[in-house]
Amino acid sequence: MPASSIYIHLPFCKTKCPYCDFASFAKEDDKRQRYIDALCSEIDQRMLQWDLRDVEIKTIFFGGGTPSVHSRAELEQIFSKLKQWFKILNSAEITLEANPGTIDRAKLEQFIELGINRISFGAQSFDPDLLEKLGRGHSVEDSIRFASVLNRHCKEERRSNPVDQQSLSTGLLHCVRNDGRLASWSLDLIYGLPGQSLESWQQSLEQALEFSPPHISAYCLSIEANTPYGKIYGDSSHQDLPQETKLIEMYELANEKFKAAGLERYEISNWAKPGHEARHNLVYWRGQEYFAFGLSAHGYIDSLRYANTRELEQYLAGIFEQESSKIGTQEKLEEKILLGLRLAEGLSLNQELNAAINQAKLQELKNTGFIEGQNLIKLSDKAQLVSNRVIAELCYH
């Protein structure tokens, strides 16, 4: 199946959070225009090289970084370039990551006019002390204000996810469905923060649910070695870090509260009301191919995985790619198992997948209640938080 999704990386942020290992930069705003120009050159270069044109696009994701720091004119330039090469379907899901403090109601409305129809909003915590320690550059009040705006701009009715084959080939501002409202939005939270108690987590969950977000992501903080957090909390037994039993309680509490609010878990860390699942992310989790452009972007086209440079100056100088490699059959199967089992829909086994799985281990994981099902296998509830270990065991021969 040809790729029908595009990831665009926009690396600029208001502040650099001390736990962040992404290719993202604060205080580099003077480079934004050069970056957009370089991004457009990369799109031209890759599309010419692949000899592709008018590929139908069903999802676009502007990630970062903080894409909401950009102006309407900057995003318009990117849309214009994309329209030159791709046919963006009327029904395309077009997501932009946004952080409060970089976007207000007026800017959101400009983005919606451009075609953005889904916002992924990084609230992360509603505990003022923890939020400050995360160094996000926004306050709880900023989050509350922005969540209220999103709530008002999102349709309440259930989204139908139609496969609309109609696409428009002319008119920049008409490349996507646009009725002045968002089709969906997501609120992101992080748990497992240093010093976080179960009570503080519960308060953040309850505050988040007050805005009825149709989609929530809740990720466990991952301490990355080469970050300021890594230097302080690099030892996972650091006394301020919640330990495994606490993390399990936090995860279970979130799952319980989301479920009660009508949000179903469809991936280990993602919950949605029916029809509000992130279509773009499902492309990754189902092992499908996708285009990716921008600093540090990772794409997957024609069985080839490629990774762009993380060096901003290199990227601005037009040196885009760092490495690429063809994915072999075994690797493809292992990825399918790894990603497919993260999804609540599970993994449908066929002859090829069965051959890639350690069958003795599979039986053992079924006997111990970590995996359920026969031809369609799924992780059980208790396996969700130890999924990496369970999945690794399955693939190990």
Binding residues for ligand SF4 (CB under 6 A) = 13, 16-17, 20, 22, 24, 64-66, 99
> Nearer to ligand SF4 by C-beta: 69 or 88?
69
Length of the chain: 397
- Shortest distance in whole angstroms from residue 9 CB to ligand SF4: 10
Tokens of 172: 């920049």
Start-to-end C-alpha separation, the chain: 30
Burial of 219-230, coded b for 16+ CB within 10 Å and e otherwise, reads eebebeeebebe
Tokens of 370: 């970590």
41 residue type, one letter: S
> Nearer to ligand SF4 by C-beta: 7 or 85?
7
- Shortest distance in whole angstroms from residue 166 CB to ligand SF4: 35
| Alpha-carbon 20 to chain mean position | 15
Q: Which residue has its beta carbon closest to ligand SF4?
A: 20
268 residue type, one letter: I
Would you say 280 and 5 are in contact if contact means Cβ atoms under 8 Å apart? Answer: yes
State the DSSP code for 158: P
> Nearer to ligand SF4 by C-beta: 92 or 295?
295
Would you say 29 and 42 are in contact if contact means Cβ atoms under 8 Å apart? Answer: no
- Shortest distance in whole angstroms from residue 66 CB to ligand SF4: 5
Work out whether the CA dihedral 360, 366, 369, 372 comes out positive or negative.
positive
| Alpha-carbon 62 to chain mean position | 9
Contacts of 38 by beta carbon, 8 Å cutoff, 6+ apart: 315, 316, 318, 320
Dihedral of CA atoms 190, 195, 198, 204 in degrees, nearest 10, equals -40
State the DSSP code for 15: S
- Shortest distance in whole angstroms from residue 19 CB to ligand SF4: 7
State the Cα–Cα distance between residues 270 and 95, nearest whole angstrom.
Answer: 16
56 residue type, one letter: E
| Alpha-carbon 68 to chain mean position | 15
Apex 99 CA angle, 95 and 102, nearest 5: 110
State the Cα–Cα distance between residues 210 and 288, nearest whole angstrom.
Answer: 35
